[in-house]
Structure 1
Amino acid sequence: MEARDLRQALVLRPRRYPFGAWPWRAAAYLASGTAAGALACAALLVLLLASLLLVGIPLLLLGGVALGGPERLRLRLVDRRPAPDPHRVPGAPGLGAWARVRAGEPATWREFAYGLLLATVLWPLDALALAVALGVPGVLLATPFLLAADGHETKVLKAVLVTSYPPALAAAVLGALLLVGLSYPLGLYAAGRGALARALLAPRDTGAADGLGEVIASRARLVDAFEAERRRIERDLHDGAQHRLVALTMTLGLARLDAPAGGPLAERLARAQEEAGQVLTELRELIHGIHPQVLADYGLGPALADAADRTAVPVDTDLGGLPRLSAAVESAAYFTGREALANVDRHSGASRARLAGRHDGRVLVLTVEDDGRGGADPARGSGLTGLADRLAVLDGTLTITSPPGGPTVLRVEIPCRVRSASSSPRTVSSSARD
């Protein structure tokens, strides 16, 4: 594959990407990053203890320099472009001259910052990405072998009990499909990690400001690519795995008709058909969560109205006249609104909520208000912190006003242009569920 880096491989050869070398290179990059980060974390703890004796402070700074070289080499796993050493050659020999030059270089401080990030934040994220993209499909693929090893039953992902081979094979098929599908977000995450490493460890010669601009632009491109791959995965699961599971369920039903009534074979076939039906239901929920079809077909207004209709708390909606916007904007606004409505259900204790959206030609404004108990704090893990970061990539903002006793008001603003005509032909201001 003639691709300069992982990001180009995802964009230029999306269909062949899962079956090439790049997914393995991405996994190797993240696995080695996990190991390097764990070692850096241990070294950081030792140096922090040594700094109490005033000997660890310079070692902390120079530790970033020692880490930078191997990290630039490791970057070649996901980015084939050379990552040159940004350090200057000292003008005089000796350790003192070398230390003075290194202490005065911006590159040294950038490597120090990257070392802190790797030791505290990045390596757990790398491990989590590998666990989701490889661990979950791997467990599903291993279901038939685990069942054979036990001889009677096995629990898939500690949740679903499997006692016969048809559902075990169905789980393995689902695992294979997820392994292929999740290779795309795994590659996108690895590409983002590589972009961050390059920005800090091998910045462009035009300066730090230009490098930061490139990082911001790459984040925006990754958002667009992620949305495109999200829709591709949804289509693949809908057109492939879902149809096969439906066919499997029908085949099991036909087999039950041929089996002797009341016998052990009929009972096992019934159990297998039930398990296949549950897997099909879970797959449909997964597909809807990846990218709801109503959002792609009809736009943000109908998609948010559908989300409001699924909310247990009655929701008044005012979404009329929302135009079609870019896919990234519609997706970010939809998932933010859906998460806000989920928080209303789970945490607010509200008896009623209101969801409103408008676009004034320049800015999309989305508000979610409820009459609950208030006191909401995103820092306590409401699920909105990650969405706020995603909105920031689009130059959007998310603000929450939630005094004790309520009401709670969430407001989203995203600067964006109109893509096409209105997605909601009329204004709706009524209860989604009476």
Structure 2
Amino acid sequence: MIRSVRYLISGVLAGAPLLVGMLLLGIAGAALTPVLVGLPLLALLALTGVPVGAVERWRLRLVDPAPVPTPHRTPDEAGPAAWARLRFTEQATWRELAYAVLLAVVLWPLDTVVLTVALGIPGAMIGTPVQLALTGGETRAVKLWLIDTYGQAFLCAAAGAVLILVLLRPLARYARARAALTRLLLAPRQAEGRLAEVTRSRARLVAAFDAERRRIERDLHDGAQQRLVALSMRLGLARLDAPPALAGRLAEAHAEADQVLVELRELINGIHPQVLADYGLGDAIADAADRSAVPVEVDVELPRFAEPVESAAYFAVREALANVGRHSGAERARVQGRYEEGRLRIEVRDDGGGGADPGAGSGLTGLADRLAVLDGTLAVDSPPGGPTVLTMEIPC
């Protein structure tokens, strides 16, 4: 019971200053917006719900022992800019702002009314004998009933004691309902929790896939490739001392070993090209364009990105250029890449016959899936007769 009273009283003590603070921020922000000074104040007002939500989840422990975890994610980067950018894009931030407005305008006045009815009025009735003694003649209990004798005063006090005992149970029920509303608005949504876990597991899968691919590349480079190099050298040395009848067969074996070595190097380069690891996505795209069956113009100005982003973008571009060479009938293609407003945007355009349909089970489906792992998107514009434009975007 005492915990319920403490919960409601602390709500009143938190809500009244919150109302004043939000009003001051809103008025000052609106007034100063024409000179741009008000914009940070309005942004601060929008984030008011974040600390309010944290305090309210802590206050819930007074009546609800089950902990309420925060619905917010941890920023991937350090610094206030990354924190603010993430908070403004989370649904939880806006739910907390709505709760802060509800607390400032409705909930704390309602808590005040409930406390006044359940405790204030009975408490004033219980204190009637003291009031009568202080006034020395007569008093009015709860500003309503005239009390001029100690008999009436003690009778009023007894009625107040009975009334407070009767109202304590409804007070506790109201406090529990109030806490349930707070939990409903401020606890993480189950769907959001599942989505966050899916996002984290998907990131772990991407990292594990990249690590496994690097391991296979390393094993092929340090194992099979070195053995083939040694075999090719031995065949070359054997040809020097072999009789003419055997030299021809050794030459064929030597050439075959060299061809296998070339193919293995191409395979290793396809698993994870060294130019991507050493020089970044821009140079890797230029290298892929040089290998394309169709002449490709490259216009790419990109910084370095995280390995999963560079890997996904590189293989998506390479797959797109392979599709151009196999299916489009194009004579030329163009790759343009930019990094703007936190998004990597790459456009692959060709002058082929068009008609590419991502829903027809083509390689575009796999390309879209590759980007979706990093929350990226693929847009296809390919009318019959062309041109075909693939636009890839990855937030990073």
TM-score between both structures, scaled by the size of structure 1: 0.46
Residues of 2 paired with 1:406 and 1:412: CA distance?
Answer: 18
Task: Look up the equivalent residue of 1:258 and give its one-letter code.
Answer: D
Equivalent residue number for residue 226 of structure 1: 209
Equivalent residue number for residue 376 of structure 1: 356
Aligned counterpart for 1:247 among listed residues 230, 237, 249: 230
Equivalent residue number for residue 217 of structure 1: 200
1:377-404, CA deviations, whole angstroms, 9 ceiling, x for partnerless residues?
Answer: 1233432212211211211101111000
1:315-363, CA deviations, whole angstroms, 9 ceiling, x for partnerless residues?
Answer: 111102x000010000000011111111111111112111000001400
Residues of 1 paired with 2:322 and 2:361: CA distance?
Answer: 13
**Is contact 2:350-2:389 (8 Å) kept?**
yes
Equivalent residue number for residue 293 of structure 2: 312
Give the 5 Å matches for 1:9-20.
none
Residues of 1 paired with 2:204 and 2:264: CA distance?
Answer: 29
Higher helix share: 2
Aligned length: 208
**Is contact 1:336-1:384 (8 Å) kept?**
no
Question: Larger Rg: 1 or 2?
Answer: 2
Task: Look up the equivalent residue of 2:351 and give its one-letter code.
Answer: D
Residues of 2 paired with 1:275 and 1:314: CA distance?
Answer: 30
1:366-423, CA deviations, whole angstroms, 9 ceiling, x for partnerless residues?
Answer: 000111110011233432212211211211101111000111000001000xxxxxxx
Residues of 1 paired with 2:256 and 2:360: CA distance?
Answer: 37
Equivalent residue number for residue 54 of structure 2: none
Task: Look up the equivalent residue of 2:226 and give its one-letter code.
Answer: H
Residues of 1 paired with 2:191 and 2:317: CA distance?
Answer: 36
**Is contact 2:376-2:395 (8 Å) kept?**
yes
Residues of 1 paired with 2:201 and 2:350: CA distance?
Answer: 37
Equivalent residue number for residue 342 of structure 1: 322
Where 2:394 maps in the other structure, the secondary structure is strand
**Is contact 2:285-2:317 (8 Å) kept?**
yes
Give the 5 Å matches for 1:265-276.
265-276=246-257
1:15-72, CA deviations, whole angstroms, 9 ceiling, x for partnerless residues?
Answer: xxxxxxxxxxxxxxxxxxxxxxxxxxxxxxxxxxxxxxxxxxxxxxxxxxxxxxxxxx
Aligned counterpart for 1:299 among listed residues 267, 272, 280: 280
Residues of 1 paired with 2:195 and 2:356: CA distance?
Answer: 33
Aligned counterpart for 2:379 among listed residues 353, 378, 399: 399
Residues of 2 paired with 1:387 and 1:312: CA distance?
Answer: 19
Equivalent residue number for residue 48 of structure 2: none
User: % of aligned pairs identical?
Assistant: 73
1:59-111, CA deviations, whole angstroms, 9 ceiling, x for partnerless residues?
Answer: xxxxxxxxxxxxxxxxxxxxxxxxxxxxxxxxxxxxxxxxxxxxxxxxxxxxx
Give the 5 Å matches for 1:88-237.
210-237=193-220
Quote the offset at 1:240 in angstroms. 2.5
Quote the offset at 1:208 in angstroms. 6.4
Equivalent residue number for residue 357 of structure 1: 337
Higher RCO (CA < 8 A, seq sep 6+): 1
Residues of 2 paired with 1:209 and 1:309: CA distance?
Answer: 44
CA RMSD, Structure 1 to Structure 2 (Å): 1.8
Equivalent residue number for residue 288 of structure 1: 269
Residues of 1 paired with 2:219 and 2:359: CA distance?
Answer: 36
Residues of 2 paired with 1:335 and 1:247: CA distance?
Answer: 31
Quote the offset at 1:209 in angstroms. 5.5
Residues of 1 paired with 2:211 and 2:240: CA distance?
Answer: 43
Equivalent residue number for residue 86 of structure 1: none
Moved over 4 A (4+): 206-209
Residues of 1 paired with 2:282 and 2:381: CA distance?
Answer: 24
Quote the offset at 1:312 in angstroms. 2.4
Residues of 1 paired with 2:292 and 2:191: CA distance?
Answer: 46
